[in-house]
């Protein structure tokens, strides 16, 4: 955690107690929380925290490469503190998100007429399905 705080101090980010709480919340978090999830959790410890502070902090972290923004639902953005290249699986019923660290670059290829036009810098694949909990709840055979 100290490395994260030092990293953002070096980048000139003002680290208020609320911002540090947001960084701690995100540190190692694999749940892909929304701004609202973060706000509701941290608000218990910091009653004066505003949603704007959470949202603005997330935007600043995104601009500094500290988090990825994942849009699986046009109404809510999710945030991923793991910025190493990876993909996601999303349950279409409960919207839970899991990380996938497989390399699909050898399997997924763009047609040559497109790669002549653009030099590809990276790719992100989202897989959609029904998770085990939702399958069980709906009575779907696994």
Q: Give the per-residue pLDDT at 1.
A: 61
Residues of the chain with pLDDT under 70: 1-2, 142
Q: Give the per-residue pLDDT at 55.
A: 95
Residue 65: CATH number of its domain: 1.10.10.10
Please give the structure tokens belonging to residue 60: 């600043």
Same domain, 70 and 100: no
Same domain, 73 and 33: yes
Q: Model pTM?
A: 0.80
User: CB–CB of 131/96 below 8 Å?
Assistant: yes
Residue 103's domain comprises 87-138
CA distance 74 to 4: 29
Residues 6+ apart with CB under 8 A from 68: 62, 79, 80, 82, 83
Alpha-carbon distance values, 79 to 14, 66, 76, 83, 116 (Å): 20, 10, 10, 10, 33
């Amino acid at each position: 955690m100290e490395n994260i705080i030092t990293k953002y101090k070096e980048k000139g980010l003002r680290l208020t107690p609320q911002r540090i709480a947001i960084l701690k919340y995100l540190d190692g978090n694999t749940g892909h929380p929304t701004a609202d999830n973060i706000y509701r959790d941290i608000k218990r410890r910091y009653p004066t925290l505003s949603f704007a502070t959470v949202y603005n902090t997330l935007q600043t972290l995104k601009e500094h490469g500290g988090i990825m923004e994942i849009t699986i639902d046009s109404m809510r953005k999710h945030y991923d503190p793991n910025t190493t290249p990876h993909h996601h699986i999303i349950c279409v019923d409960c919207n839970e998100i899991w990380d996938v660290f497989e390399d699909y670059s050898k399997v997924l290829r763009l047609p040559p007429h497109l790669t002549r036009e653009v030099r590809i810098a990276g790719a992100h694949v989202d897989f959609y399905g029904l998770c085990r909990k939702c399958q069980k709840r709906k009575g779907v055979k696994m």
